[in-house]
Amino acid sequence: MRLILALAGLALSLSFSGPASAAERMNILVMGDSFMTSNGSENESFPDVLSDLLRTKIKSTAVAGARHLYNLPLTGSLGMKIAKQYRAGKWDYVVMNGGGNDLWMGCGCGKCTRKMEKLITADGKRGAIPSTVLRARRDGAQVIYVGYLRSPGRGSPIEACKPLGDKMEARIARLAALDPGFTFVSLADMVPYGDGSFHAADMIHPSAKGSAAAAQRVLAAISGAH
- pLDDT tens by residue, 29-73: 999 999 999 999 999 999 999 999 999 999 999 999 999 998 655
CATH topology of domain 26-224: Rossmann fold (3.40.50)
Q: How far is CA 148 from the centre of its chain?
A: 8
Assess contact for 169 and 186: CB atoms under 8 A: yes
Whether the full predicted model's pTM is greater than 0.75, yes or no, is yes
pLDDT in tens, 74-127: 545 556 899 999 999 999 999 999 999 999 988 889 889 999 999 999 999 999
Long-range pairs of 106-113 with CB within 8 A, sequence gap ≥ 24:
106/67, 106/69, 109/158, 109/160, 109/161, 109/164, 112/164
Please give the Cα distance from 57 to 53 (Å, whole number): 10
Domain residue spans of the chain: 26-224
Please give the Cα distance from 203 to 155 (Å, whole number): 7
